[in-house]
Structure 1
């Protein structure tokens, strides 16, 4: 064996530390770019999901024109017909069930028993048997990958990130959106309607938006106005007055009152947001959002409705984990990113199907 060369030497400790420091700096510089790229991919998938939902609505409307000779959107919930026997309480099947065939989920649609209840209430009566087989199934297209939650509001039921548009501020005009509670349940003066009923323009009328999934009821006590999960909560708000008053000033006052809640205000509810994807109930804001408060602002219950779980003309906000705004699917099938800073009357106008407002494309 040859003796080691005197010219052969290793790295000194200082050189190693310098190299490690350089690598650490490079990682620190690259990590935000990597995270931004991942979020861009998640946001792109979210947009694609919403486009599929928009296309499903178009196919649903076309199918109804052929089958029943009437142009119509799916109802927000189905308290009659599809689930006779559950027409009084409002707790019923969601628009998501109606759209299953148009989302290439015919097998799951066929497995849904419309003679049974939506979920397990613990009631022993035969017609309260739950649709657990379908309810436990998680539909991938209904989830936004940017949501980030690792829990479901009510395990093991599947949940959803996308909610249908109930309308602008209910204080001004209730049920003014595109996929709303049916007339049999709400007393809404407008019967079934489709694209012909959207006189404000399909490209300026919301159909769906994102809403961050709620948390299990056990975590409600941890959700405050100033907490990281505030957007997943529903807070007791001020008295916003009754619905259909056609008074924008009252609507604006309610929004300002919601924004002014102290940071220590605790959520009255969180688990009802998207809690069961098959479930529809306007009072619990379970599958709806509305164009009342600005995107990513607080959701507040109108004290006039009496309770921390009611919300037909309260603030059910579109929320997301995307930076600076939310994705909104419009009635023409397009998906646009609406900023949190959108002018509030413009946001209200995007929520109504026939309010007569004029909104330019550069206003949001």
Structure 2
């Protein structure tokens, strides 16, 4: 792929389906192949015992080079974030602390360095006058090669986390209708997603049960609509968000969608109405008020007086509750779906 060209794929790149070795694992593998016996060609054996021993060191070093270059090469061939969809690029940078491209570039430089080392030491070992000299040069080559590998795999654990996060991120069709469900933890986002779509997110009475974005689909009037369940957001700026929250913020900021913001109006809600409204303001600043539908969930748990009181608080904050639902009981979901379809059409996201 050309540098700087943005990937139009709907999924994280296939090249990410690799396992990133730690330096200790790579070192063990390289030393293991170095200690293995090697077969010397018959043509070399005719040149005498010393020549055979020298050639063995050449072949052993070649194996070490192949192991190290292959592992660093797999990393070097990973796509840069500039070639990914911005959403997937952000997921990679969140998990790698912004070092994804740096680590990939370092591995690419490592491949070039060990290739030059191998070319140099192959000639030097072949030119050795004695097996002792060949042995010294071979050990020197292995040591220098592993030193390059250590530097090249600095922060490999961050790259491993980034690859894992990208593999856990669903394939989102950026050209098809998308609805993002947002809100604070424990407002019923996952319950709503499981009610409306094919997704079966984990649901529990504890906050941050949803740690990754989860994608489901629903069919409406022959249209396939994507529903994205996001991790819960807390009332704090992006700089103070944990990686789980930042994934939700990335989806809101970088994916073209209609956003449903769920509010829990119950008196025993996990977070107060004031806190939920502050998060609502933060989300509206990311997606825009016009792209936001405020939905009051868990209406089965509260009386009409409480519902009206919460609606007034929402209006005072500059918003309006568009729908009342109970995802658990299934109340109001038909009206909600019809409203979502209408909003998708209004925004040109659905024909």
Question: How would you bin the TM-score normalised by the shorter chain?
Answer: under 0.3
Q: Indicate the structure (1 or 2) with the bigger Cα radius of gyration.
A: 2
By percentage of residues, which structure has more helix? 2
TM-score by length of 2: 0.24
Structure 1 length as normaliser, TM-score?
A: 0.23
* Bigger relative contact order, structure 1 or 2 (CA pairs below 8 A, ≥6 apart): 1
